[in-house]
């Protein structure tokens, strides 16, 4: 209850601060058509003594889902009979990591956020908010660090990632160079612009900052043809597009502006993008969760939402085999919605 109330206070205050940067006021967010209140019918897969399944991933053979939770573990779903089992850990020393939700211990236990499997190797790459970019093999266990700094500056708030297997690079976000995850409130309230978007070359083991001065960069995903990569600025309600190839290579533009705080972005098999709106700000409505599907050009194709209290504070929407698997940075379950 305390977490929910605090989150609402943070969101309201952050909206007031950030509207000066977004280009529209708090009472006139961009209009999003074709919204459907369908998530109240979603099923849930409850976690066992865990909470906050921020990101969702399936291994190359389709196993899972795998989720990272608040106490530093990565869990694997093995079906109704076996349920959730431990797969990986982002901290080797877990003597103090015995509670499902203990924000004051995140810097000790780790906090896995974005998850992505490398389809060729089967390795799981983890964006841990405190420990940087990590990797663990197909058998799981303790993840090992790959990147803890970029261009001489430590990574303080690793958030999400995507993998370009063809070019052997990993793109990921460092949400702030000043604030760590436990103090994300400070980042929002100061309209912090120290976030970075980083590329890690697996062969050279070099991390290069592609974009500086971002306001809480968060979700990351590549386009289907790898010509551009998307990264959202949560504080600014925007999704930025950085062109990687073609005549616009090296330039950026605004891919979409959304009516709330975008979290992770995930591409489906058609090349479209699902964006989790953690907290919406529609005028005249109680703030609630939304999932927005965008075309490859940034056009809104579909909006699914929950105006009730079933799915709250969603962080990711992963489409697989006719279902949407829905993560949350707070709740003790994963949502499942049949398309």
Q: Give pLDDT tens digits for 140-166.
A: 999 999 999 999 999 999 999 999 999
- Can you tell me the distance from the alpha carbon of 249 to that of 239, in angstroms, rounded to the nearest whole number? 17
Among residues 50, 62, 59, 61, the alpha carbon closest in space to that of 112 is found at 50
Strand, helix or coil for residue 270: coil
pLDDT tens figures, 174-209 = 999 887 887 776 676 778 899 999 999 999 999 999
User: With pLDDT > 70 as the criterion, what percentage of the chain qualifies?
Assistant: 87
pLDDT tens figures, 288-310 = 889 999 999 999 999 999 987 78
pLDDT score, position 14: 44
pLDDT tens figures, 27-62 = 345 566 678 999 999 999 999 899 999 999 999 999
pLDDT score, position 21: 47
Strands (E), 215-299: 217-222, 228-233, 238-243, 252-257, 260-267, 273-280, 289-294
pTM: 0.91
What is the fold of 2-338?
Neuraminidase (2.120.10)
Comparison of pLDDT for 118 and 98, the residue scoring more: 118
pLDDT score, position 186: 66
Asked if residue 128 lies in contact with residue 113, where contact means CB atoms within 8 angstroms, the answer is yes
With 50 as the cut, is the pLDDT of residue 217 above it? yes
């Amino acid at each position: 209850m305390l977490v929910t109330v605090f989150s609402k206070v943070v969101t309201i205050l952050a909206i007031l601060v950030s509207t000066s940067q977004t280009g529209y006021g708090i009472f006139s967010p961009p209009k999003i058509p074709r919204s459907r209140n369908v998530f109240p019918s979603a099923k849930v897969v409850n976690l066992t003594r865990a909470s906050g399944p921020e990101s969702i991933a399936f291994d190359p053979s389709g196993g899972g889902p795998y989720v990272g939770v608040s106490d530093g573990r990565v869990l694997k779903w093995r079906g109704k009979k076996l349920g959730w089992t431990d797969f990986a850990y982002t901290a080797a020393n877990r003597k103090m990591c015995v509670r499902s939700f203990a924000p004051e211990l995140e810097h000790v236990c780790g906090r896995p956020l974005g998850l992505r499997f490398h389809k060729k190797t089967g390795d799981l790459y983890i964006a841990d908010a405190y420990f940087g970019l990590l990797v663990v093999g197909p058998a799981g266990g303790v993840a090992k660090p790959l990147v803890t700094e970029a261009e001489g500056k430590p990574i303080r708030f690793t958030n999400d990632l995507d993998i370009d297997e063809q070019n052997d690079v990993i793109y990921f976000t460092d949400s702030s160079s000043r604030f760590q995850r436990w103090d994300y409130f400070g980042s929002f309230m100061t309209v912090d612009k120290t976030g970075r978007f980083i590329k890690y070359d697996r062969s050279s083991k070099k991390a290069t900052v592609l974009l500086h001065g971002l306001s809480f960069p968060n979700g990351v995903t590549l386009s289907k043809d790898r010509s551009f990569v998307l990264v959202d600025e949560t504080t600014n309600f925007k999704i930025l597009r950085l062109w990687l190839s073609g005549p616009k290579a090296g330039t950026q533009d605004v891919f979409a502006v959304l009516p709330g705080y975008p979290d992770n972005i995930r591409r489906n098999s058609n090349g479209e993008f699902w964006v989790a709106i953690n907290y919406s700000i529609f005028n005249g409505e109680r703030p609630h969760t939304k999932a927005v599907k965008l075309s490859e050009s940034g056009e809104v194709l579909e909006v699914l939402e929950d105006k009730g209290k079933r799915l709250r504070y969603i962080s990711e929407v992963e489409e697989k085999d006719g279902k949407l698997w829905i993560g949350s940075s707070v709740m003790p379950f994963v949502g499942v919605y049949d398309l």
